[in-house]
Amino acid sequence: MHQVTLIEGDGIGPEVIQATQRLIAATGIPLTWEKCEAGKRVFEKGLSSGVPPETIASLKKTKVALKGPLETPIGYGEKSANVTLRTLFDTYANIRPVRTLPGIPTPFQDRAIDFVIIRENVEDVYAGIEYMQTPTTAEALKLITRKGSEDIIRLAFEFARAESRRKIHCATKANILKLTEGLFKSVFEEVAKDYPDIEAHHILIDNCAHQMVVNPEQFDVIVTTNLHGDIISDLGSGLVGGLGVAASANIGNEVAIFEAVHGSAPDIAGKNWVNPTATFFSSIAMLRHLGEFEGAHRIEQALLYTLERSPEKTRDLDKTSSLTTTAFTDRVIENLGRTTSFWPSRPYSPLHIPSKASPPPPVVEKTIGVDIFLESTLSPTALGESLEALCHTSPFQLKMISNRGVQVYPTIEDLHPTTVTHWRARFFFKEGERDDDLLLDFIKHIAHHHPWMHIEKLKEFNQKPGFTKTQGEA
């Protein structure tokens, strides 16, 4: 008997969840539900996280949740309850299937689309580390770690094996973001060596988005970083019918949360109009996670058979339809035991959550300088001359000044970029002793003349620079 934490959610959530419970019950799969709360009603009770202790305790026990959409009310509550759940249980992998569905009208309905997007779910700019560095300049930190990259990439390869898939594309912007996205790419290339049975390819994310439209059949599994994955997974949903049919899973080493992608749609809540297809597909993924492969197959076949044969669609697909949520669910239940040849049969096996972590390579670190971010109304030349003068009696020399990513001092001939009051000044140590005390003294020295808001040490790792050059920097 499987125990599953059940979070009905807000808006249309109870309708799609209750429909899914009916469908699973009709199969006879041994499941018990532990009903819990999260979202709007919890916020209204004054709990700022939107997730009460009882729900957290349930998930710690069951390790699996089926969840409806959650609303983050405006005006109270501090965080998204969805983000709270993912963060608490480190569900670092977001899995989004993209598969052509029968009977769903789209410009791609005659294409044999069948791939899965696996998105890193914790890091990147979605770590939410942002600052206003000046009144007119904002900063967000893009964090990509070796551990986070390896966790999601190994899971992607294991997922490919579990679904008998044979090819993975790693989608990055490593041609521009050479250190962050470049780290993700290099970890992918290292991990791929452990999976010689699976083709491994790198693709630039912009080309990936292009290819998803012009030739989606080429893809089997796409693994990518958080922001890119957020964007292309919705693009993938658009190829096959929209968010109303899009399932998802959030997977961690301990806990898995299954849910539809769509929102809570409070404007149609309680009207018995909502399409439960996305939640049905999410429950199929949940059943496979629980090892109930036969039951998952029966529900999947009945759902596909219903979509293929039913002349009526729910209102999100046909505004003139009178087909209700209840009636659609009844049809799927009636079709249990029927099969369709629309999708080729795919053998599934349990997903192995990888525990292997590569030891970090030996590294020799050396601090060679510092970038100091300054606020100033001076011209590039005046600021440069001021900083040059401040370096005369210091252990540092000014290498360059950039503004919005472009070198503006020393000036580049015939280049006159528009500047703002936010500057990055790059300093390297002169010959001699290099330590933090000298660095801190120098920052104090600069601060007497120019307000600064941020510093970054410039390091070498194994004699390779751990920083990028700005545009125009020699």
**455 strand-pairing partners:** 372
List of the chain residues with pLDDT < 70: 73-79, 356, 433
**403 strand-pairing partners:** 406
Let me know how long the chain is.
Answer: 474
Question: CA 370 → CA 121, 178, 261, 391, distances in Å?
Answer: 31, 19, 44, 13
**Please, are residues 162 and 369 in contact by the beta-carbon 8 Å criterion?**
no
CATH class of 365-465: alpha beta
What is the gyration radius of the CA atoms in the chain, in angstroms? 26
Q: What per-residue confidence (pLDDT) applies to 35? A: 96
Report which residue type is found at 259. Answer: E
For 7-65, the pLDDT digits (tens) are 999 999 999 999 999 999 999 999 999 999 999 888 888 888 889 999 999 999 999 99
Q: What per-residue confidence (pLDDT) applies to 338? A: 95
Q: What per-residue confidence (pLDDT) applies to 60? A: 96
Cis amide bond preceding 410, omega within 30: yes
Q: What per-residue confidence (pLDDT) applies to 77? A: 53
HEC readout, 214-281: HCHHHCCEEEECHHHHHHHHHHHHHHHCCHHHCEEEEECCCCEEEEECCCCCHHHCCCCCCCCHHHHH
CA–CA separation, 159 and 353 (whole Å)? 9
Q: What per-residue confidence (pLDDT) applies to 400? A: 96
Q: What per-residue confidence (pLDDT) applies to 75? A: 57
Q: What per-residue confidence (pLDDT) applies to 10? A: 94
**Please, are residues 240 and 105 in contact by the beta-carbon 8 Å criterion?**
no
**96 strand-pairing partners:** 117
pTM, two decimals, is: 0.93
Q: Domains of the chain: which residue ranges?
A: 1-92+241-346, 107-239, 365-465
CA–CA separation, 424 and 403 (whole Å)? 6
Strands lying side by side in the sheet with 2-7: 31-36, 2-7, 64-67, 256-260, 247-251, 93-99, 114-120, 221-224, 167-172, 199-204
Sole residue written with tokens 């009882």: 54
Same fold, 1-92+241-346 and 107-239: yes
Sign of CA dihedral 390, 392, 395, 401: positive
Q: What per-residue confidence (pLDDT) applies to 74? A: 64
Strands lying side by side in the sheet with 422-429: 406-409, 396-403, 422-429, 365-375, 452-461, 464-465
CA–CA separation, 191 and 214 (whole Å)? 29
* CATH fold of 107-239: Isopropylmalate Dehydrogenase (3.40.718)
Pairing of strands 64-67, 2-7: parallel
Tell me whether residue 191 is exposed, middle or buried, using C-beta atoms within 10 angstroms of its C-beta: 0 to 12, 13 to 18, 19 or more: buried
- % of the chain at pLDDT higher than 70: 98
**Please, are residues 377 and 441 in contact by the beta-carbon 8 Å criterion?**
no
What H or E segment, with its residue span, contains residue 165? none
Sole residue written with tokens 């791929």: 192
Match domain 1-92+241-346 to its CATH number in 3.60.15.10, 3.40.630.10, 3.40.50.11030, 3.40.718.10.
3.40.718.10
- Strand, helix or coil at 88? helix
Least Cα distance to 429 among 416, 419, 442 occurs for 442
Q: What per-residue confidence (pLDDT) applies to 128? A: 84
Q: What per-residue confidence (pLDDT) applies to 78? A: 62
Tell me whether residue 302 is exposed, middle or buried, using C-beta atoms within 10 angstroms of its C-beta: 0 to 12, 13 to 18, 19 or more: buried
Q: What per-residue confidence (pLDDT) applies to 175? A: 96
Pairing of strands 452-461, 365-375: antiparallel
Nearby residues of 382 by Cβ (< 8 Å), 6 or more positions away: none
Q: For 241-379, where are the alpha helices, taking DSSP H only?
A: 277-289, 293-309, 325-334
**Please, are residues 6 and 66 in contact by the beta-carbon 8 Å criterion?**
yes
